Structure 1
Amino acid sequence: MSNTADPQAARPAWKDVSYGSAAGIVSKLVEHPLDLTKVRLQSQPLDRAARYSGPWDCIVQTYRNEGLKAFWRGVSMPVAGAMAENATLFVVYNQTQAILQRLYPPSTPSTPDEPAPLSIWQTATAAAVAGAAVSFVLTPVELVKCKMQVSNIAAEGFASSTAAHAVASASHAPAAKPIPSSFMRPNPASPGAIAVTRSILREYGVRGLWLGQTGTLIRETGGGAAWFTTFEVVSQWFIQRRVARGEVSAKDGGRVTKGDLAAWELMSAGAGAGIMYNVVLFPADCIKSTIQTEDELRGKGEAKGPRRGFFQVGKDIYAARGVRGLYNGCGITALRAAPSSALIFYIYSRLEAAFG
């Protein structure tokens, strides 16, 4: 059987690693403030009134109480993780495409200049496999990131409970003493990524780093399929428009490829992919964030009961806040995902076109 795999999939894996890492780092730096807002909206404790009324209120409160630097709290782990995440994603995606094309050769002949297009089901399958693989890389990164991002809520909860205890004690004392102002605001000193990781390992062992894996796996498998498939479909639509106008590749005079698309076309396809990725299985991400931040938001000194499972947490969120609770932060996430995915696909496609 002849090898009909797309030449893109035959590239050395180190190129996918390099291109994916570069794209991931840039996108994470751009998207992190909105990601922090999303996590804080998702992770509000269910047993008390919501701290934030919506995305804008969360942004305003974060800026007023913690300053501009707070929007990049926890960014070190996502930036480091973006390299592993996107490298894994593109390597597995391209290699799975090659395997599928060997198993199911396309009816259209493939040449180095004009590779045979993948079918929709091949694209979706390869993307789902890539998403499942990357979920195991992402879970520890997101666990540490989420714990760091809600440190302000956790500190406030501790401060409030401490202040309440001080008030109760003072009411029985001969002379009431003023409550220290430090009880009334979050502790500005937040643990770093290494300290959070060590704390997880110390309390739960290595397995503790994959807390929330079920939610990440569901989100990445379905979301990954939606992400890549949407990008490929929209990109092919732009290509067909150019072909219908009689255009040829500026590089070699052959058929138009993604490398010939304008920046706005690539970024439009990437933005659409990012929105689709998040909308498809957003409740899984909401449940995952709740599970990963439950210990921090329970409060210091509170007894830890049995850990709730994925579906139980989903039921609890629905019971407390309805369907809206499962989509808390969805709008800000879609807003974040559009430019982030646009950058990832644009940078990756341009590097691919320039260096093969």
Structure 2
Amino acid sequence: MSEGKPYIRVAAGLIFDARGRLLLGQRPDGKVWPGWWEFPGGKIEAGESVEQALVRELDEELGIQATRVYPWVVYMHEYPKTVVELSFCQVTAWKGEPTGREDQALDWVDPAQIRLDESDHPIGPGGASLLPAAMAPLRWLRLPTHYRLSQIQRPDRLDGWLAHLRGELLRGLRLVQFREPAWTGSPAALHAAFQATVALCRQYGARCLINSVHPHAWWAEADGVQLRAGDARHVLQQDQRPPGWLGVSAHNLADLACAAELHADFVVLGHVLETPSHPGQTPLGWAGFKQLAAQAGRPVFALGGQSAATLDTARLHGAHGVAALRGPLFQTP
């Protein structure tokens, strides 16, 4: 970031209605960047928390009282004349009807339908662009909130894994990681299990990432790579970012810094709660998780003791979603 520019802290709300549409506001004449679309919000005043600032700003701008606010990502963006620290939050419940109280136009859009212009700027309603800082969160919104990690371990358990995976895919699972560090079969059987997992995911329009514990030659067959913390540092030294979606496993600030340098799409942070895979190791706990997640600069999945039952708690502590080896990711009907 350039020195000498004014530094501004902003709370920005990604407001979603029951249909999953996103509310955008168009900056009126007389303001900087007039006519550009943006996420509602405004400056954080001295002594305010992010949530307090956002609730106040949404009341002043839109006449609504936000009642469900999830902290999401704190993101730095440098404009020509300012450096802005954007604390993005997702808002899913409020009282009142959004109204442009500052003479700004409002529109509800499907985030999946927002396209880019020739300069890779997102285009809002009527063909006007969104502010440049909107580019990153729009990509992050393509990430689902549920992340399933495989735990097959033996060739004779492959059919059971695929049946379970199919059930979750039918229920909406769209992000899977093939991760088999304890595989007891042959390398050929492991590769076949990986290929079967990828094929099933693609059948349902889901992405399958491969963990970096597996051969580099396999990575191109997946939709991206989940780097272990140590592997992420090695990849950074080699200056060879893997193609596709990139996740980085993190446990501390150093790991988060490495993920940032790699421009990772997301981070998996843990372990949050006690889990059988980390016996005797002290978990981060929700307070520790929240503190680290706020410094990630990108979406964070909570890992360790996670399931559908912890998703809301995770989001209230800054998680984008939850990643799980064992826990059910969807509530039983």
TM-score between the two structures when normalised by the length of structure 2: 0.24
Greater RCO, CA 8 A, separation 6+: 1
Structure whose alpha-carbon radius of gyration is higher: 1
**Structure 1 or 2: more strand by fraction:** 2
